[in-house]
Amino acid sequence: MFVDDRILTLFKRNAHHTLTYWSVFFSFGLCIAFLGPTILDLQCQTNSTLNQITWVFFSQQFCLLIGSSIGGIFKRTLFSALSALFVSALIISVIFAIIPLCKNVLVLAIAMAVSGLAMGIIDTIANIQLVSIYQKDSAVFLQALHFFIGFGALVSPLIADPFLSETGCGNHTGNSTEMVHHFRSMLRNSPIAQHSINDSHSSGEPGEEDSNVHYAFWIMALINLPVPIAVLFLMYREQFIPCCPSGTPRLLDKDELAMENHQGAEAPDVEQSEHSAGGHGDIFSCCRNDNLRGLPVSFFMIHILGGLVLFMTDGIVGTYAGFVYTYGVSEPISLPHKTAGYLASIFWAAITAGRLLSIPLSYRFKPVKLLMFNLAGAIVTVLMLLIFYTSTIFLFVGTCLCGLFLSSIFPCMLAYTEDILDYQGCATSVLVTSAGMGEMVMQVLVGSIIQTEGSYSFPLCGMIIACLGFIFFIGLLLFHRMHRNYLTGTSRKSAMVEEPATEQSGPARTEQTESSSS
């Protein structure tokens, strides 16, 4: 068996919560991947230029970063966390439904900004909830959680693809047509999304045809609708809906009863440590916590270095998914556009498969070992892409390997840092925010470098970013050792302070007993 009875018992005890958080992450993946293949149709719908429509990407990513930063605010109670998840998942369905009604690019950007805010809140809360539930066993369940992002990211383009117009408005310049074709071919020509497309155009200007993409958005809204319903049902089971009280006892109460049977007298110490740590707050409350003043430098450096590792690795994920098609069609590889369209699909499929494979591996191996293996594998893969930059075959092989190695770095880093810091919660907010920031910044930075320096800078930038991520990880290991020595020294000092008091109380108690007996 891959998983022992203890892990299965934990999952059965928290199955309703866990499955709900996994379903909410499916909404996250569904919303994050549809914009690329539908960008041409949305440009026609809003009568905007390509430069204007690209601000829709920025608005979504920027508000996703804000949502990730403030998402920890809703972890104060389980009620606030579930309420935020319900509202966020419902917002995503509403945004899907109203996107076909957005005839202005500014209105579309505002709608996508709202969806990005909801996605960021989902990202932080779901990660924090699973970490707080499973703690030292959270690595397995975090891998499954992030698998559902990849699953949603694969489903979304497949829904949109049959309804996309092939030529759009027919008013694009050569450069914009090539750039839009880049977005479209990332998923349109994938082997899992092949369709027979009717190339006949409606009457009008050459290259212009009607778009039926609004049906795709309405279908995605209906597919996503069971997710907020699932969250609402969990709130009903937890007796958080006053008008609909549940007859069954709260799941949280049953968990607490089971934990009391195992922990006994340790519960007051756990509660005291949670209050002293400040709980799972948002990134801003973590920074201004008064209890952080007496903590060592290693405590802060673990947060910083862990965030920098994810800043680099998630930056590679966003950059590779966004520009591997451009790299494939450029010299010296010069792939046909249809063939290059497979690259991004292979990359996302490899990420999804890697996260699924990492679920049993997370049980067998510690997160730090998986992190070391994945970071080293990513560096070797990008180095081989840099060396064999003219090989078409290795580009496809390297794309698959790169997706596999990068797939599980985020959940492994989350489990590793929270384990180091005794699950105080601030690490989750910091890491989620850093990862989102890296994906947003690196896409802009590497995209501008490729435009000025040429396509060869694509694997070169990936190599530099991967090496920086590995260096930051080595620094994280060093500060982990320093933090462990600090905790060991603190516990020894506490034991030395308590030991004399115990020795003094012994003779005093003996004298008191002798006097009472006399």
CATH number for the domain spanning 408: value is 1.20.1250.20
pLDDT tops 90 at residue 72 = no
Q: Is residue 413 part of a domain?
A: yes
Q: Kindly state the DSSP code that residue 291 receives in the 8-state scheme.
A: G
Query: What are 440-499's pLDDT values in tens digits?
Result: 888 778 878 887 888 888 899 999 999 999 999 999 999 988 888 877 776 666 666 555
Range with the lowest mean pLDDT among 50-54, 234-238, 380-384, 398-402? 50-54
pLDDT tops 90 at residue 240 = no
Number of domains in the chain: 2
Do 220 and 346 share a domain, yes or no?
A: no
* Contact (CB, 8 A) for 399 and 343: yes
Do 234 and 338 share a domain, yes or no?
A: no
Query: What are 497-513's pLDDT values in tens digits?
Result: 555 555 555 555 445 54
Global pTM reads: 0.66
Residue 466's nearest CA partner among 440, 447, 438, 444 is 438
Q: Is residue 346 part of a domain?
A: yes
Q: Is residue 110 part of a domain?
A: yes
Residue 345 binned pLDDT confidence (cut-offs 50, 70, 90): confident
378-397 mean pLDDT: 92
Do 229 and 330 share a domain, yes or no?
A: no
Do 329 and 425 share a domain, yes or no?
A: yes
pLDDT tops 70 at residue 112 = yes
9-30 mean pLDDT: 87
Q: Is residue 183 part of a domain?
A: no
Q: The tokens of 206 are what?
A: 């050459």
Amino acid at site 112: M
Dist. CA 323–CA 161, nearest whole Å: 20
Query: What are 298-329's pLDDT values in tens digits?
Result: 888 888 999 999 999 999 988 887 778 778 88
Dist. CA 99–CA 110, nearest whole Å: 10
**335 to each of 324, 330, 396, 454, 507, how far by Cα in Å?**
11, 7, 11, 16, 86
pLDDT recorded at residue 364: 84
DSSP 183-203: HHHHHHT-GGG---------S
More confident residue, 427 or 104: 104
Dist. CA 295–CA 216, nearest whole Å: 52
More confident residue, 274 or 60: 60
* Contact (CB, 8 A) for 314 and 436: yes
Crossing angle of helices 213-224 and 78-98, in 10° steps, is: 160
pLDDT recorded at residue 26: 87
Per the structure, the complete domain to which residue 354 belongs is given by 296-485
pLDDT recorded at residue 324: 83
Dist. CA 149–CA 72, nearest whole Å: 20
Do 406 and 322 share a domain, yes or no?
A: yes
Q: Is residue 205 part of a domain?
A: no
Q: Is residue 379 part of a domain?
A: yes
Domain boundary among 224, 240, 256: 240
pLDDT recorded at residue 379: 95
More confident residue, 342 or 399: 399
Query: What are 128-155's pLDDT values in tens digits?
Result: 888 888 877 777 888 788 888 878 877 7
Do 217 and 340 share a domain, yes or no?
A: no
Residue 341 binned pLDDT confidence (cut-offs 50, 70, 90): low
pLDDT recorded at residue 269: 41
pLDDT recorded at residue 351: 87
Q: Is residue 176 part of a domain?
A: no
367-387 mean pLDDT: 93
Do 325 and 462 share a domain, yes or no?
A: yes
Highest mean pLDDT among 41-55, 375-389, 434-448: 375-389
Dihedral of alpha carbons 375, 377, 378, 382, sign: positive
Q: Is residue 403 part of a domain?
A: yes
**99 to each of 141, 436, 465, how far by Cα in Å?**
33, 24, 36
Do 342 and 230 share a domain, yes or no?
A: no
Residue 424 binned pLDDT confidence (cut-offs 50, 70, 90): low
pLDDT recorded at residue 213: 80
pLDDT tops 80 at residue 384 = yes
Question: Measured in Å, how far apart are the chain's first and last C-alpha atoms?
Answer: 66
Residue 10 binned pLDDT confidence (cut-offs 50, 70, 90): confident
| Residue 429: CA count within 13 A, CB half-sphere | 22
pLDDT recorded at residue 401: 94
Dist. CA 53–CA 65, nearest whole Å: 20
Q: The tokens of 65 are what?
A: 């970063």
More confident residue, 515 or 86: 86
pLDDT tops 90 at residue 381 = yes
More confident residue, 267 or 290: 290
- % of the chain exceeding 90 in pLDDT: 19
pLDDT tops 80 at residue 279 = no
Query: What are 258-271's pLDDT values in tens digits?
Result: 443 444 434 334 33
Q: What is the mean pLDDT of the chain?
A: 75
Does the N-terminal peptide bond of residue 332 adopt cis geometry, omega within 30 degrees of 0? yes
DSSP H or E segment with residue 147? helix 138-160
Do 330 and 437 share a domain, yes or no?
A: yes
Do 222 and 345 share a domain, yes or no?
A: no
Do 327 and 228 share a domain, yes or no?
A: no
* Contact (CB, 8 A) for 50 and 189: no
Do 365 and 232 share a domain, yes or no?
A: no
pLDDT tops 70 at residue 183 = no
pLDDT recorded at residue 241: 77
Residue 74 binned pLDDT confidence (cut-offs 50, 70, 90): confident
